[in-house]
A and B are shown apart, each in its own frame.
Chain A
Amino acid sequence: MLAYTLRRIAQAVPILLLVSLISFGIMQLVPGDPAAVLAGPNATPDELIKLRQTLGLDKSLLSQIMIFYGNLFQGDLGYSIILGEPVLKVVLERSPISISLALYSLALTVILGLSIGVIAAMKHNRWIDQAAMTFALIGVSVPNFWLGLVMIVLFSVHLGWLPTGGYVPFFEDPAGWFLAATMPALSLAMMQIGLLARLTRSTMLEVLGQDYIRTARAKGASEPRVIIKHAMSNVLIPVVTVLGMILSVLLSGSVIVETIFAVPGIGALLGNAILGRDYPMIQGGLIFVAAVLLILNIVVDVLYAWLDPRVRVQ
Chain B
Amino acid sequence: MTHRNSKNRLRGLLVAGAMAVAAGPAHAELCGHVGGDLVLGMEAKLGTLDQHVNAANATRNVAMNIFETLMTRDENMAPILDLAESLDVSEDKLTYTFKLRPGVKFHNGKPLTSADVAASFDRYNRIGVDRSALGSVDRWETPDDATFTIFLKEPQASFLESISASTVPIVIVPSEQANAEATRLEPIGTGPFQLEEFVADSHVKLKRYEDYKANETLDAMSGFAGRKQACVDTVTFRTLAEPGARLAALETGEVHIVEDVPTLSKERLVGNEDIVQTQLKHAALWLNYPNLSEPPTDNLKIRQAIQAAMNLDEIMDAMSDGSYSLNPSFQFPGQTYYTEAGSQYYNQNDPEKAKALLKEAGYNGEAVKLLTTRDIPRLYTAAVVMSEQLKAAGINAELVVLDWPTALGMSVNETEGWNFFFTGWITVTAQGGAQSLRNLADPSNVHKPKDNKSDAEFMKQFQILSTSPDLEERKAAFAKAQERVFEQVMAIPFGVTPKNQATRANVKGYVPFFNTRVSNVWLAE
Contact = CB atoms under 8 A, between A and B. Distances in A.
Interface of A: 30-34, 36-48, 50-51, 54-55, 79-85, 90, 145, 148-149, 152-153, 156-157, 160, 163-167, 258-264, 268-269, 272, 275-277
Contact of A32 (B54, B131, B185, B409): B409
A262 B199 CA distance: 11
Closest 6 CB pairs of A and B: A40-B55, A84-B183, A264-B202, A32-B405, A82-B47, A33-B409
Given A145-B242, A262-B241, A268-B45, 8 more contacts: A31-B410, A38-B53, A42-B446, A44-B132, A45-B443, A261-B245, A272-B200, A277-B409
A259 B446 contact: no
B412 A31 contact: no
Contact of B55 (A39, A79, A268, A276): A39
Interface of B: 45, 47-48, 50, 53-56, 127, 129-132, 167-168, 181-185, 199-203, 238-242, 244-245, 248-249, 251-252, 254, 375, 402-406, 408-413, 423, 425, 428, 438-439, 443-444, 446, 452
Given A47-B131, A165-B240, A264 B405 contact: no
B371 to A, nearest CB: 12
B329 to A, nearest CB: 18
A156 B246 CA distance: 12
Contact of B245 (A43, A260, A275): A260
A148 B242 CA distance: 11
Contact of A43 (B242, B404, B412): B412
Contact of A153 (B132, B184, B248): B248
Given A50-B127, A165-B249, A262-B245, A83 B48 contact: yes
A41 B127 contact: no
Nearest to B239: A262
Given A83-B183, A160-B252, A166 B405 contact: no
A314 B425 CA distance: 63
A31 to B, nearest CB: 5
A54 B181 contact: yes
B238 A166 contact: yes
A38 B52 CA distance: 10
Contacts of B50: 84
Given A42-B446, A46-B443, A275-B375, A164 B131 contact: no
A269 B129 CA distance: 24
13 contacts: A36-B413, A40-B167, A42-B438, A42-B439, A51-B127, A51-B129, A153-B244, A153-B248, A164-B254, A165-B245, A260-B242, A262-B203, A268-B45
